Amino acid sequence: MDCVEIKNLKVSYGKGNYEKEVLHGININAYTGKITAIIGESGSGKTTIGKTIQGILNENANVEGKIRINNIEYDLSNRGYKREARKKIASTVFQDAKLSLNPNQKIKKQITENYDTTDRSLSKKEYVKKVKVLMQEVGLFDIERILNSYPRQLSGGMCQKLVIIMSIIKNSKLLIADEPTASLDEKSQQEVIKIIKELNRKYGLTIIYITHDLGLIDNVADSLVVIKDGQIIETSDDIKNLKTDYAKDLFMAKEKTWFKNATGKSKLLEVNSLSKSFSGNKILDDINLDINQGEVLGIYGPSGQGKTTFVRCLTGLNYYDKGFIRVGSHPVYNRMQISPSFVQMIFQDAKASLNPRKKIFDLLMEPLALNKNVDHKEKTDLVNHFLELVSLSGHEDKTTESLSTGQCQRVAIARALISKPKLLICDEAVSAQDVLLQNQILDLLRSLQEKLDFTILLISHDKKMLFNYCDRVVKIENKKLVKQEGKNV
C-alpha cells in the first residue's frame, strides 16, 4: 500500500546555546486511502508537524528530516520543497474556515484564484465544473448563491466544506486536517467528518488528521499517533486498546465530572419573553430564563440559532425588540445601562482578545482605570493578587507572545474577574484546547468561583462537557430556548 513516509523530522528554534528543539526525530507512515490521526496536548508539536509538511513553518525555524511520497524523497528543509509543497504536495484544512477565506472576496473569485495554485491538469472550465460537482457531493446544492456570497454570509460548516473542496481539487498527495471541526457545532462536525471520510474513500487521499477532540477519533481515524513534548510515545491501529498511561489519561480526561452546586439560590438575572430581529429576520423568539447567583449554567445548540445574539443582549451589546432583561429590579437595554462590575466575558481565542504589545501587568490594569476610588498602590496589589489566583505570579512583565495557550486563557480570566463581576460569560472559552488543558481551565474557574462568588454562563458546542460540568444546561435552537435540563443527559 502506498504511503507518505516522514522520516526523522526535527524542528528547533534559535541558534547555538539558545537553540531549543521542539520536535525530536518524528517518524510517521500515513497510508493512501487511510486517515492517520495525531493527538496530544497543547504544545506537544502536532501543528508544527503539519506546518512543516505543508512548507508553511516560520522561516526562523531550523528543520531537519525527509518526506517520501510516491517513491520520491524530499528534504523538508529545502526551499524548493516548501514551494512544491504549497503548490501540489500538501493541502491543509484549518480549524476556522472563515479565517482561511478572504472576507472581502466572494467565494467564486477565491475558487478561481485557487486554480492558479493547482497543477493545471484541468482547464479552468473543467476546474469550475468539478468544483460544482464537489459542492453537490458535500451537500452544497444552492451553488450560484453560495458562489456569489461572501464568507460572512455563510455558516461555519458551509465555509469548512468549501475549504475542503479547494484542498481536494488541487490533487495534492496529502491532505492535512488541522482541528477542522473544533469550532463547529455537533451537527456540522458530523457532516464535515462524513465528507472527509467519503472523499477519502472516493478519491484515495492520504489524510493526516490533527486533533485534540478525542471524542471524534474512534469515528474518524484508521490509525493513531500519540505525541508528547515533541516525541511520539505510541502508535496504534487499535484506538480502544492503548498502551501508554499518557494516551489513556488523554481519553479518560474526557469523562471527568465535577461536583454540582445547589441551584436553589437567589435570582441574579431574569430574562422574560426576549425577542430580537435583524433586518426583519427574527434571531431570538420569546426566550424565558432565570439565572441564579453562584450557579454554572451551560448553553448549547446548533450554530446560527441565536446563542451569541442572546449573550450580546445579556451584556447590553445588542438592543432587544421585545420582552425584558432584569438585573435585580433594573431593566437592561444597552451597554450603557450595565456596569462592567456586573458582567464580563472571556472568548475562545484568548490570545487574539489580548493586546500583544502590552505587558500582562498593563492588561490587568486596564479594567481598573475607571475606578477613581482606588489608588495606584491598591490597583497594583490587586493585579498581583489576581496573577497569583491564576498561577501567573512572576509573569507580569511578559507579553502574550511569550505565553502558552493555557497561560493566555488564564490572563483573560484574571482580566475579566479583576472587576469582580457577578456574571462571567465564557463563549467557547475552552473549545480550542486539548482535553487536559480544558480540564485545568474548568478546574480554575470552579476554584475562582468558590473564592469570588460569581455566576458562570458557559457556552459550548461540547454537550457532554457541559453536562459533566454545569449545574444546569439549556438548549437554544430555532431561535427559541427549547429545553432546560438538569445534571444528566
| Residue 113, in any domain of the structure | yes
| Residue 159, in any domain of the structure | yes
CATH assignment of the domain containing 188: 3.40.50.300
Distance, CA of 157 to CA of 195 (rounded, Å): 11
Q: Where a domain ends, among 233, 255, 277?
A: 255
Query: Does residue 238 share a domain with residue 284?
Result: no
**Burial tier of 283 (Cβ tally within 10 Å: 0-12, 13-18, 19+):** buried
Query: Does residue 206 share a domain with residue 278?
Result: no
pTM of the model: 0.79
Query: Does residue 48 share a domain with residue 20?
Result: yes
Query: Does residue 295 share a domain with residue 246?
Result: no
Distance, CA of 174 to CA of 5 (rounded, Å): 11
Q: Sign of the CA dihedral 75, 80, 83, 85?
A: negative
Q: Where a domain ends, among 255, 288, 311?
A: 255
Residue range(s) defining the domain that contains residue 186:
3-255
pLDDT in tens, 79-115: 888 888 877 788 888 877 777 889 899 999 998 887 7
**In sequence order, what are the residues at sequence separation of 6 or more whose Cβ sits closer than 8 angstroms to the Cβ of residue 438?**
253, 430, 465
| pLDDT given at position 211 | 85
Choice between 372 and 243, residue whose per-residue pLDDT is larger: 243
Choice between 352 and 487, residue whose per-residue pLDDT is larger: 352
Query: Does residue 303 share a domain with residue 231?
Result: no
Query: Does residue 241 share a domain with residue 101?
Result: yes
| pLDDT given at position 435 | 83
pLDDT in tens, 119-166: 667 788 888 888 999 999 888 999 999 999 998 888 778 888 898 888
Q: What is the mean pLDDT of the chain?
A: 86
Query: Does residue 290 share a domain with residue 251?
Result: no
Residue 488 has pLDDT above 50, yes or no: no
Q: Where a domain ends, among 234, 255, 276?
A: 255
| Residue 260, in any domain of the structure | no
Query: Does residue 441 share a domain with residue 324?
Result: yes
| Residue 261, in any domain of the structure | no
| Residue 36, in any domain of the structure | yes
pLDDT in tens, 407-455: 899 999 999 999 899 999 998 888 777 788 889 999 999 999 999 999 9
pLDDT in tens, 48-60: 999 999 888 888 8
Query: Does residue 401 share a domain with residue 438?
Result: yes
Query: Does residue 182 share a domain with residue 39?
Result: yes
| pLDDT given at position 451 | 93
Query: Does residue 400 share a domain with residue 443?
Result: yes
CB 160 within 8 A of CB 190: no
Give the chain's domain count. Answer: 2
